[in-house]
Amino acid sequence: MNDISDYIQGELIKTPFNLYNLIAKYIESNNNTKVAFVGGYLRDLLISKFHKKSFSKPVDIDLVIEGSSISLAKFIKKNIVNVDLCLIKEFNLYNTVEININDYKIDIASARKEIYSAPGLNPTVNKSTIAEDLKRRDFTINSIAFEVSTRKIYDLYGGISDIKSKRLNLLHSNSISDDPSRLIRCAKYASRLDFNISNNSLKQSQETVRQWPWKSSETHKKMIYPPALGIRIRMELAEICKHDNLTNVISIIHKWEIISILNENIKVDKRFLRGLNWIKKLKGNHMLYLLKDSEDLEKACQRFLVNNSEIKILEDYINIKKILNTNQKNFNHFSPSSWTEFIEDRNLNDETVKLLICDGGPYWRKLFKWLFIYKFIKSKKDGETLKKEGWDPGKEMGKEIKRLRYLEIDKLNRN
């Protein structure tokens, strides 16, 4: 283990802003308080060592301290040099601090123990040790810590062995029931790291999802819509959409037979996955795409705290899709201006149009052209010009501007 410790220390010394040495100085001046590096950065260092996989420079660094997180954060801010920006955000509920230094983010947590009263609810927390803190982690590969002062490696759950074997193991038998959003994270790691989920972890995942809706251990009432869970899943998906391959992650979730954590009505086939790729290209709302085919839209929206404007987008999507499917002969002969009138007279949100495009129906090209071409075309004559020609301001002038605009739009069809 000494060679691994030497390797980790050698890499951590390279962290930006002389962070490692600043932490060492803090420890010396605070009665050898225990501080450790944990989480994804440490995991990725070990993956690089064992599998020669390269990662980009760390943007997020996680620390855990057996003491005051805010005290360490203030020490770093006071002593750091040659930075443009250093901001501290405190989160008192969990005794955590976030430091933003230029483009880097450092999360410092006071070592804690977490207790979940029911699936998806926020935990209650108590102060604890680094070793105890690791018990609340999601996967063995994320439960490794490196203590700065002693150079001790905490690997209580075989995380290093799992990294060597490219295996995803949940930390304990309640990992998913404590926080079901870990299912999404697990698929993210499988996609990003090319790791495989262990049989026991897959079984736990499937069994937990099958128990939905979960019950509260305190009241024994059904907790059909734990709000914290919906928020966490949406945050996980947003991060995946930004930094990972969402299509691949959804395919993995489907393969593991746990897709109902998102929407049991999703039919994961080539058409669906193509649409998922398109929603990202169009910079659309991926959450709405995942929910659009829900049989019970109201419940689906409640689960994921979908707001009123998003609900309107989904409702319009469903209504327009029905209209398009029942009057196909009509729409086959629509001109570009007819499509423009159809969309704009209904005041459809761009997000609704994006969902219809991603469906890949017979009219997706027409909708696509409206979204990126037709909607931006204007009449060659505005109100001022028409007034000079003798038109009176009012409804009739508005109709004429619209007619002239439609003429310009239809010219594109002839060119």
Instruction: Quick: pLDDT tens for 163-213.
Output: 999 999 999 998 998 888 999 999 999 999 999 999 999 999 999 898 865
Q: Alpha-carbon distance 284 to 352, whole Å?
A: 9
Instruction: Quick: pLDDT tens for 381-403.
Output: 999 999 999 999 999 999 999 99
| pLDDT confidence tier of residue 57, bands split at 50, 70 and 90 | confident
Tokens of 79: 């002593």
pTM: 0.88
Q: Is the pLDDT of residue 141 over 90?
A: yes
Give the per-residue pLDDT at 212: 66
Instruction: Quick: pLDDT tens for 82-109.
Output: 888 899 999 887 889 999 998 899 999 9
| pLDDT confidence tier of residue 1, bands split at 50, 70 and 90 | confident
The pLDDT of 56-76, averaged and rounded, is 92
Instruction: Quick: pLDDT tens for 212-239.
Output: 655 444 454 554 567 788 899 999 999 9
Lowest mean pLDDT of 48-57, 156-165, 351-360, name the range: 48-57
| pLDDT confidence tier of residue 328, bands split at 50, 70 and 90 | confident
Q: Alpha-carbon distance 119 to 176, whole Å?
A: 8
% of the chain at pLDDT higher than 90: 79
Q: What is the mean pLDDT of the chain?
A: 92
Q: Alpha-carbon distance 128 to 178, whole Å?
A: 19
